[in-house]
Amino acid sequence: MDAATFDLCSKIIPQSYVNQGNQALITQSNLIRVLLEKKKIPRDGWKTQTVEYMLSQLALMDSNNFIGNCGVGEREGRIFSETVSKRHYRFAHGIGRSGDVTAIQPKAAGSSILNQLCTSLMLDLIRASGVKSTSDCIIVPMATGMTLTLCFLTLRSLRPGAEYIIWPRIDQKSCFKSIISAGFKPIIIENQLEGDELRTDLDGVEKAIAEYGAEKILCVFSTTSCFAPRVPDRLEELAKICKSHDIPHIVNNAYGLQSSKCTHLIQQASRVGRLDAFVQSCDKNLMVPVGGAVIGVMNKNFGDKIAKTYAGRASAAPSLDVLITLLEMGMNKYEALLKERKENYKYLKEELTKVATKHGEVVLETPHNPISMAMSVSQNLVNSQKKDVTELGSMLFTRCVSGTRVVATNATKDIEGYLFQGYGSHCNNYRTAYLTAAAAIGMTKGDVDLFVKRLDKVLTELRKNNVKTS
C-alpha cells in the first residue's frame, strides 16, 4: 500500500494503529529489497508469510494476473483449477522463451524475476558449498539423467565429429541412459579394486583416448556421489587428462553438493585441469520434490549454450520450490544441516559396525565415499532357504526402511544392448554381496537408531530361520 492508502486507513482506525501496521509492512519490504539488491541467501531463514508476501507481489506482475487483461494468444497463462492456481502461487507462464530457457518473458515479469533470483541464490549456495570457481548455473525442470543428456547435446554442436563418451562405470541406470539418449556410444571404463573401494582406472581412460582418438570423444563423463563401495572418481587426475587432450569434462554430482569432499574435488579439478559442467539434483540436495536439477558451469558462455539448447519454455515449479526452500531455510540452517549430515555419517558407521559385528558381517572400508557406506551380506544368511541375499532388502522395505540397497554379485542387466555383469556392484565380480546405506542431508540421529534396530531384527530373524531349515 502507498502513502495515500495509509492516510485513508487512518480515517477508519486510529493513526497509531495504522503506523504500527505500516512499520510491519516496511520491515517485510526491507527484507525483499535487500534480497533483490544482494541476490544472496539470507543468513536467517524467512517466515513463511514473508515468502508468500513476496511471491504474491511477483505473481501480480505476470500478465495472466493483470486486472482487465485481455489475452488472445494460444498461451495466456489460463488456469482452470483454483487449487492448481494456489499450488503454483498463481505463476502460470513458466520460465524462458522458445529459444532460451533463461530468457526474460515480456508477458511474465514476475516469473522472470523469480527465475533470475532463484538462479542467483543457487549460485551463492554452490559457491558457499565449496565450488567457488563456478561462474554461472542453470536450473532446469528435469531430473539428473535428462539434464546430463542436455549437456551432451550442447557439446554435440561444439564437437560435431565426436561419437563416444568415456564413462568410468557406475551402476546407476539413468547415468548410462543419459549417454544413449543423447545419441552417443559409451566407452565403459571398468573400475579398479583398491582394498574394498572401487576407484577410477586412469590408465584405462588414457588407453581409450589413444585408441579412439581425442577428436572422436565428446567428453569424459565422471561421477562424484555414488553408492559404496564405489567412491568418487579421481576428478583432479581426470581433469588434467581432459586438459592435455582438449576433451570436455562433465561431472555427475547428483547428490554431492551436500558433501564438502565432493565439492572440493570439483573445485580442485577445475583449478588444475578441465571441468566444463557439473550436474546435481534439486531434490537430493535441497529437500524439494523430484523434478529439477542444477547445472553448474565454469565458463558462462558454455552455460549460455546449454540454455539455448533447451527447446521451448520450461516449468517454473523447480525454481519456485528451490527459491521458497532457500529463503525459509537461510544459510545458517543450511550450514547446520550440512554439519548434522557429517555427524550422522560418523554415527551411522559406528552403529552399523556394531550390528555387522554382532551378525558376523563387516562394514566395508570406503573412506573416499563421504555419503554412502556398505555392509557385507553373507550368502549363508539365506542359503538353507534357497533365497537370494536381496531378500534382505525386501524384508527391510516391508518394515518401512527405504533407501537401502542389497546388491548380489551375480546379477546381470542388459541396458540398451549393453550387458553388465555383476550389475549394481559397479564391477563384474565384487568379492561379497552387500547392503548400502547413506547419510544424506535431512537425516536425523533418530533415523539411524530406527534403521539399525530394524536391521538387527531382520538379520536375527534370517539367522533363526536359517537354523530351523538347515
Residue 97 lies in a domain: no
Say what percent of the chain tops pLDDT 70: 98
C-alpha cell recorded at residue 377: 551380506
- The enclosing domain of 251 has a CATH number of 3.40.640.10
Q: Give every strand in the sheet of 185-189, ordered side by side.
A: 136-140, 293-297, 277-281, 249-252, 217-223, 164-168, 185-189
**In this structure, are 120 and 49 located in the same domain?**
no
pTM of this structure: 0.94
Number of domains in the chain: 3
- Do the Cβ atoms of 253 and 279 come closer than 8 Å? yes
Who contacts 306 (Cβ-Cβ below 8 Å, separation ≥6)?
A: 138, 150, 151, 154, 277, 295, 297
**Could you read off the pLDDT of 95-134 as tens digits, one per residue?**
998 878 999 999 999 999 999 999 999 999 999 999 999 9
Of 312, 330, 348, the one marking the end of a domain is: 330
DSSP assigned state of 377: E
The whole-number pLDDT of residue 468 equals 56
**In this structure, are 205 and 343 located in the same domain?**
no
**In this structure, are 340 and 296 located in the same domain?**
no
Which residue ranges of the chain lie beneath pLDDT 50?
none
By residue range, what is the domain housing residue 267? 109-330
Of 330, 345, 379, the one marking the end of a domain is: 330
Residue 99 lies in a domain: no
- The enclosing domain of 361 has a CATH number of 3.90.1150.10
The whole-number pLDDT of residue 2 equals 84
Of 299, 330, 361, the one marking the end of a domain is: 330
Residue 196 lies in a domain: yes
Measure the CA–CA gap between 433 and 252, rounded to whole angstroms. Answer: 25
The whole-number pLDDT of residue 273 equals 98
User: Residue 435: exposed, middle, or buried by beta-carbon count in 10 A (0-12, 13-18, 19+)?
Assistant: buried
**In this structure, are 212 and 343 located in the same domain?**
no
The whole-number pLDDT of residue 378 equals 87
